[in-house]
Amino acid sequence: MVLVLAGPVHSGKTSFLRGLLPELKAREIRVCGYVSLAFKGEGGIFGYDLFDVKEGRALPFLRTTGESSWQKVGPFFLLPGGLAAAESAILGRKPGERLIVDEVGPLEIAGRGVWPALSRALARSSFHGLLVTRKPLLDVLRDRLQPSPTEVFEIERNDLRPALIKALSGTGRAE
């Protein structure tokens, strides 16, 4: 089952996930994957760090400076080491773990970024995970996920926390 958390840009999707991780751990719901943390400085956001939810560590993922040969999305360059870590987190999912990918954005919708690794993971019949996306990309993502069954959770949903915990704990128990 593919779960999708959707919401507008900067609506709190990542903050929500970061707050949810300790509760998932307390409930013994095993997770892997990553969330993308803003890398801020004076004057705004200068990139994003990949926070590996299983390892509990962060490393540079996207930055406003980079080499012309690197993939780019908006003002950000995808750092090769960050991309390799993201792909490893996606493809390294063990049976019983729920994969979290924050986020499936314009680069992935275009078939680049982490999409090649994610599409391989999605092709496995035992896939269970949560993908985060922006609301404007939701319909395109749903199309890309066919024929996998999906359930969408919007960030504005009043019962989001219990509903998402239930969905994450209830999928894949037979693994």
What residues have CB less than 8 Å from 132, skipping those under 6 apart? 4, 5, 6, 13, 14, 17, 35, 100, 101, 102, 103, 104
**Domain 2-170's class?**
alpha beta
What ranges do the domains of the chain cover? 2-170
Model confidence, pTM: 0.92
Place of tokens 């493809």: 91
At 171, the amino acid letter reads T
Instruction: Please report which residue ranges of 27-124 form alpha helices under DSSP H.
Output: 80-91, 106-109, 115-123
pLDDT tens, residue by residue, 80-97: 999 999 999 999 999 889
What pLDDT is stored for residue 14 in this prediction? 94
Is residue 49 over pLDDT 90?
Answer: yes
Across residues 141-157, what is the average pLDDT? 92
What is Dmax (Cα atoms) for the chain? 49
- List, edge to edge, every strand of the sheet that includes 150-154: 72-73, 76-78, 57-63, 44-52, 31-41, 98-102, 129-134, 2-7, 150-154
Is residue 173 over pLDDT 60?
Answer: no
Going 30 to 36 to 41 to 43, the CA torsion angle's sign is: negative
**What are the tokens at 60?**
């540079």
CA angle 142, 157, 17 (to 5 degrees): 75
Query: How far separated are the first and last CA of the chain, in Å rounded?
Result: 13
Is residue 175 over pLDDT 70?
Answer: no
Out of 7-11, 91-95, 124-128, least confident range: 124-128
